[in-house]
């Protein structure tokens, strides 16, 4: 079953002073598809366009041309409000810098998407506790992000992405801020979540090591996507 299907995705950036802008094509007709339960890695150097691809997939920005089908729904033309609601239901995000709310505890950070969904407190507490237990965070539930190690912070970030049970997880350099030992922990966690819950992962990375856990691998090169053998 196709979870994501991208066809002829094109995007151009305007760079330079107003009136004297230069057009720089970032995505030059990207085509790819992701099946349910797959881990797909998109590797590439900085500036290759891989982050732009992720942002367009997530609905943070709109593409100029092309179509994106996510879980059977065309998302390329959704409004900002529709896109936010769709994101909340379909995607979980794992960021390089964890992007946790500094004023909230680990528990509250994980709880946040449930609050956005308007779920009642009792139900939220139950769900968060269960998940924290699963990703071994129960002991640090009341800790603030600055009281957590990098690995723990990324676990919180992953738990926050998982809490709404989204079918797809988008990870942007998920181990970029971690040491190699912690990196392995996180990659193992991603693999086990994929196996146990059948979650679909799209991992954007420049790290070839990270890409080794993917079932399929694409290489982004100068705005074009090329499939590689895993």
Partner 1 sequence: MLFKDQLDFVTQHIKKNKLRVFMTVLAATMGCAFLIVLASVGFGLQDSIRNEILSNEKVTKIQVFGNDKFTEDQIHEIKGIEHVETVLETITVNASAHSFFEGRDTQSSLSVANMHDFEQVNGKLAEGKYPTKPNEIVVGYHFAQTLVNDAERKIIEEKSKKAEAEGTYYNGSEEGYKDSLIGKEIELSLMPPIDGAEETEKMKYTIVGVKKKPSYDWMIDSSVYMDTEQKPMLATNLAATGKVKEDDMFYSEFNIFADSMENVKSILDKLKDKGYSVYSVTEQLDKMNVFFLVLKIGLIFVGTIAVLIASIGIFNTMTMAVTERTREIGVLKAIGASPKLIQRLFLMESTFIGIVGTLIAVAISYVISFVANAALPLILKAATGEDAFGRNEITFSLIPWQLVLIASAISIGVAMISGYRPARKATKIDVIQALRQEL
Residue 73 interacts with partner 1 (CB under 8 A)? no
**Binding status of residue 12 toward partner 1 by CB under 8 A:** no
Q: Which two tokens stand for residue 56?
A: 């367009």
Helix (H, G, I), strand (E, B) or coil at 127: helix
Q: Which is nearer to partner 1, 55 or 184 (CB)?
A: 55
* Interface stretch with partner 1, choices 13-21, 107-115, 185-193, 221-229 (CB under 8 A): 107-115
Residue 58 binds partner 1 (CB under 8 A) = yes
Establish how many alpha carbons lie within 13 A of residue 199's alpha carbon, considering only the half-sphere containing its beta carbon: 27
Q: Shortest gap between Cβ of 101 and partner 1 (angstroms)?
A: 6
Residue owning tokens 């449930």: 114
Residue linked to tokens 């590689």: 228
173: tokens are 């350099």
| Element spanning 165, H or E | none
Q: Give 77 or 195: the residue with its C-beta nearer to partner 1.
A: 77
Nearer to partner 1, 4 or 100 (CB): 100
Which region, judged by CB under 8 A, interacts with partner 1, from 8-16, 40-48, 77-85, 132-140? 77-85
> Does 213 participate in binding partner 1 (rule CB under 8 A)?
no
By the rule CB under 8 A, 93 interacts with partner 1: yes
Q: At 116, phi and psi to the nearest 5?
A: -65, -30
Residue 98: CA count within 13 A, CB half-sphere: 23
Which one of 19, 80, 181, 229 is in contact with partner 1 (CB under 8 A)?
A: 80
The answer to whether the beta carbons of residues 164 and 89 sit under 8 Å apart is: yes
| By CB under 8 A, residue 103 contacts partner 1 | yes
Q: Identify the three-state secondary structure at position 58.
A: helix
Assess contact for 197 and 166: CB atoms under 8 A: no
Tell me: does residue 196 bind partner 1 (CB under 8 A).
no
What residue ranges bind partner 1 (CB under 8 A)? 51, 55, 58, 60-61, 80-81, 84-85, 87-89, 91, 93, 95, 97, 99-103, 112-113, 115-116, 118, 120, 160
């Amino acid at each position: 079953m196709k979870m994501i299907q991208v066809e002829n995705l094109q995007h151009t950036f305007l760079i330079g002073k107003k009136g004297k802008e230069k057009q720089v094509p970032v995505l030059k007709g990207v085509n790819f598809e992701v099946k349910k339960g797959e881990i797909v890695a998109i590797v590439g150097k900085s500036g290759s366009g891989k982050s732009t691809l992720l942002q367009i997939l997530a609905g943070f920005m709109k593409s100029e041309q092309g179509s994106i089908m996510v879980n059977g729904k065309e998302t390329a033309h959704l409004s900002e409000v529709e896109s936010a609601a769709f994101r909340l239901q379909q995607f979980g995000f794992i960021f390089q810098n964890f992007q946790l709310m500094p004023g909230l505890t680990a528990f509250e950070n994980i709880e946040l998407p449930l609050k956005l969904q308007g779920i009642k407190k009792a139900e939220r507490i139950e769900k968060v506790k269960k998940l924290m237990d699963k990703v071994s965070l129960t002991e640090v539930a009341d800790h603030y992000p600055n009281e957590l190690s990098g690995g723990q912070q990324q676990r919180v970030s992953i738990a926050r992405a998982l809490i709404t049970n989204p079918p797809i997880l988008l990870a942007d350099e998920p181990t970029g801020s971690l040491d190699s030992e912690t990196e392995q922990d996180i990659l193992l966690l991603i693999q086990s979540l994929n196996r146990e819950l059948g979650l679909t992962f799209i991992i954007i990375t420049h790290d070839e090591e990270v890409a080794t856990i993917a079932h399929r691998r694409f290489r982004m090169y100068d705005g074009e996507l090329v499939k590689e053998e895993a």
